[in-house]
């Protein structure tokens, strides 16, 4: 059941800038929904509209079954944690967590019980007498969350709460926040620019770009079936390789031309994506995830006609895998939004070669300078319309 419903939500700031356009989104009861997108795409604006900190220009916002567009923040039954959470430095952990309950004049016994429960869930029981200054960064973050959830709000809103933590603590806190959310079963809307954070924490991920929702689905579906080039390029690390290609029907069956090389295309590729039939002979955007390349001398039984020749430019040995880089003489395809993200990719877009990154098994013996055969799992390739950017499926 939907607990928070955004219907045709729009936000136009006073200066005329449209930060959110026709947003439709449902957050289910007890769901952990993460909104992810590049900086400036409208995530905080959306969260602040749900919180009541920002006026809604048009559209309807429901929490529970109530339209809350005009309701002040304090009456919306929400709690928030921001990136720059501030604890009261002169108060103990107990008093920090208890603050809102004291403000609401709850009975002492109830306050004690609720703070104890939250402290147990957040493993802060032994820290309750300490001042924030004597806590670690992770503990302070937990106090901030405890302070928010102690009132048992209907909806928990978090805006990039981990941005100020170092990398190791960030990874640890991801698990803590999802564990906490599951334990208290609270409907949660979490925004971040970090797609790894989104993928690892969310029940469902809402991908947004320039104020427009791109796709909402489970992490695995976003990864395996991105609806458009933006989602394909944004979700996954290292990112999908996307270049121009042409599907051609030959006497020997279907072929995919990528620059000067061709790959055989198994029949199932067309069967699973019937709409591709209408694109035969036309340029399309072809996406291949780094995991769908492998050193052919490791994958020895891979069909010989589903291999590319590649001169390896550079390798990065990560222990459990090796990332290898090579160029293909096919034009790179990069979404407009992705272009704005990276200078490096901008210069790539002007060239006719695509720098491919591939994940090889660590048993590969490949070195920079080698020319090798690369196995491609063609059945996993993604195809997009070059003009609309939309996935070509059915
Ligand atoms: N008060 C404001 N007036 C005008 N533009 C704003 C205001 N607040 C934010 N914006 C713009 O709206 C866009 C979305 O901002 P925001 O929602 O904060 O993005 P995100 O949280 O995704 O980084 C940005 O381009 C930002 O500059
Ligand atoms: Mg923001």
CA dihedral over 282, 287, 293, 299, signed as positive or negative? negative
Mean pLDDT value of segment 5-12: 98
Distance of CA 98 to the CA centre of its chain: 34
Question: At 359, which helix (H) or strand (E)?
Answer: strand 354-360
Give distance in angstroms: CA of 55 to centre of ligand 2: 16
> Domain 2-234 has what CATH class?
alpha beta
Q: Hey, whose CA ends up nearest to atom 24 of ligand 1? A: 40
Q: Is the pLDDT of residue 87 over 80?
A: yes
Q: Is the pLDDT of residue 348 over 60?
A: no
pTM for this prediction: 0.92
| Phi and psi at residue 376, to the nearest 5° | -120, 125
Ligand that lies nearest to the alpha carbon of residue 16, given by its number in the listed order: 1
Binned at pLDDT 50, 70 and 90, residue 352 comes out as confident
Please answer whether residues 359 and 298 qualify as being in contact, where contact means their C-beta atoms are separated by less than 8 angstroms.
no
Percent of the chain with pLDDT over 70: 95
Q: Is the pLDDT of residue 336 over 80?
A: no
Give distance in angstroms: CA of 20 to centre of ligand 1: 9
Q: How far, in Å, CA of 199 to CA of 222, rounded?
A: 9
When the pLDDT of each residue in the chain is averaged and rounded to a whole number, the result is 93
Percent of the chain with pLDDT over 90: 83
Q: How far, in Å, CA of 216 to CA of 207, rounded?
A: 6
Give distance in angstroms: CA of 128 to centre of ligand 2: 31
- The ranges assigned to domains in the chain are 2-234, 241-384
Give distance in angstroms: CA of 49 to centre of ligand 1: 12
Please answer whether residues 4 and 71 qualify as being in contact, where contact means their C-beta atoms are separated by less than 8 angstroms.
no
Q: How far, in Å, CA of 302 to CA of 294, rounded?
A: 10
Q: Is the pLDDT of residue 338 over 70?
A: no
Give the mutation target among 37, 42, 192 for probing the ligand 1 site: most ligand atoms within 8 A of CB: 42
Ligand that lies nearest to the alpha carbon of residue 82, given by its number in the listed order: 2
Please answer whether residues 384 and 228 qualify as being in contact, where contact means their C-beta atoms are separated by less than 8 angstroms.
yes
Mean pLDDT value of segment 112-133: 94
Give residue 169's pLDDT: 86
Give distance in angstroms: CA of 372 to centre of ligand 2: 44
Give distance in angstroms: CA of 18 to centre of ligand 1: 9
Q: Hey, whose CA ends up nearest to atom 12 of ligand 1? A: 19
Mean pLDDT value of segment 172-184: 90
Q: Is the pLDDT of residue 339 over 60?
A: no
Q: Hey, whose CA ends up nearest to atom 16 of ligand 1? A: 42
Q: How far, in Å, CA of 186 to CA of 169, rounded?
A: 23
Ligand that lies nearest to the alpha carbon of residue 17, given by its number in the listed order: 1
Out of 58-67, 80-89, 219-228, 318-327, which region has the weakest mean confidence (pLDDT)? Answer: 80-89
Q: How far, in Å, CA of 202 to CA of 211, rounded?
A: 20
Give the mutation target among 12, 17, 80, 212 for probing the ligand 1 site: most ligand atoms within 8 A of CB: 17
Q: Ligand 1, residue 160: give the atom nearest the CA.
A: 21
**For every residue of 73-111, which 3-state class applies, written as one string?**
HHHCCEEEEECCCCCCCCCCHHHHHHHHHHHCCCCHHHH
Q: Hey, whose CA ends up nearest to atom 14 of ligand 1? A: 42
Give distance in angstroms: CA of 190 to centre of ligand 1: 17
Give residue 340's pLDDT: 55
Binned at pLDDT 50, 70 and 90, residue 301 comes out as very high
Reported in sequence order, the residue ranges of 65-200 that DSSP labels E, i.e. its strands, are 66-67, 78-82, 155-159, 187-192
Q: Give residue-wise pLDDT tens across range 371-388.
A: 999 999 999 999 999 999
Binned at pLDDT 50, 70 and 90, residue 165 comes out as confident
Q: Name the residue with tokens 């939500």.
A: 9
Q: Give residue-wise pLDDT tens across range 225-278.
A: 999 999 999 999 999 999 999 999 999 899 999 999 999 999 999 999 999 999
- Two tokens, residue 1: 């059941």
Q: How far, in Å, CA of 10 to CA of 376, rounded?
A: 43
DSSP per position, 195-225: HHHHHHH-SEEEEEETTEEEEEE-HHHHHHS
Q: Give residue-wise pLDDT tens across range 305-316.
A: 999 999 999 999
Give residue 292's pLDDT: 98
Q: What is the CB < 6 Å shell around ligand 1?
A: 13, 15, 17, 19, 37, 39-45
Give distance in angstroms: CA of 79 to centre of ligand 1: 21
Give the mutation target among 35, 37, 43, 45 for probing the ligand 1 site: most ligand atoms within 8 A of CB: 45
Give residue 387's pLDDT: 94
Q: List CB-based neighbours of ion ligand 2 within 5 Å.
A: 44
Give distance in angstroms: CA of 151 to centre of ligand 1: 29
């Amino acid at each position: 059941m939907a607990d928070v419903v955004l219907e045709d939500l729009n936000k136009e700031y006073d200066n005329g800038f449209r930060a959110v356009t026709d947003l439709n989104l449902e957050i289910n009861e007890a769901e952990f929904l993460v909104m992810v997108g590049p900086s400036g795409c409208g995530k905080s604006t959306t969260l602040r509209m749900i919180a009541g900190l920002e006026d809604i220009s048009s559209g309807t916002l429901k929490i529970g079954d109530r339209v809350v567009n005009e309701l002040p923040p304090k009456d919306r039954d929400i709690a928030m944690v921001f990136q720059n959470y501030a604890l009261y430095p002169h108060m103990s952990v107990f008093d920090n967590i208890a603050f809102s309950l004291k403000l609401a004049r709850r009975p002492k016994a109830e306050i004690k019980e609720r703070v104890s429960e939250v402290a147990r869930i957040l493993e802060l029981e032994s820290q309750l007498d300490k001042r924030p200054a004597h806590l670690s960064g992770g503990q302070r973050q937990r106090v901030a969350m405890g302070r928010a959830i102690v009132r048992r709000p209907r909806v928990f809103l978090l805006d990039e709460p981990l941005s100020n933590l170092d990398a190791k603590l960030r990874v640890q806190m991801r698990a803590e926040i999802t564990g906490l959310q599951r334990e208290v079963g609270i409907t949660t809307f979490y925004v971040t620019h970090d797609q790894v954070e989104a993928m690892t924490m969310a029940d469902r991920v809402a991908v947004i770009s320039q104020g427009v929702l791109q796709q909402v689905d489970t992490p695995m579906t976003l990864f395996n079936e991105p609806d458009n080039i933006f989602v394909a390029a944004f979700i996954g690390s290292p990112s999908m390789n996307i270049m121009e290609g042409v599907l051609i029907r030959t006497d020997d069956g279907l072929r995919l031309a990528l620059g000067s090389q061709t790959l055989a295309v198994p029949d199932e590729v067309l069967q699973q994506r019937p709409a591709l039939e209408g694109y035969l002979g036309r340029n399309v955007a072809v996406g291949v995830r780094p995991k769908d390349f492998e050193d052919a001398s490791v994958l020895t039984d891979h069909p010989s006609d589903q291999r590319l020749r590649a001169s390896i430019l550079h390798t990065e040995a990560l222990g459990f895998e090796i990332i290898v880089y090579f160029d293909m003489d096919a034009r790179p395809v990069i979404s407009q939004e992705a272009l704005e993200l990276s200078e490096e990719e901008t210069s790539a877009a002007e060239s006719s070669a695509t720098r491919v990154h591939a994940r090889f098994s660590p048993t590969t013996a490949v070195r920079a300078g080698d020319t090798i055969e690369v196995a491609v799992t063609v059945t996993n390739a993604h195809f997009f319309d070059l003009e609309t950017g939309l996935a070509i499926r059915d």
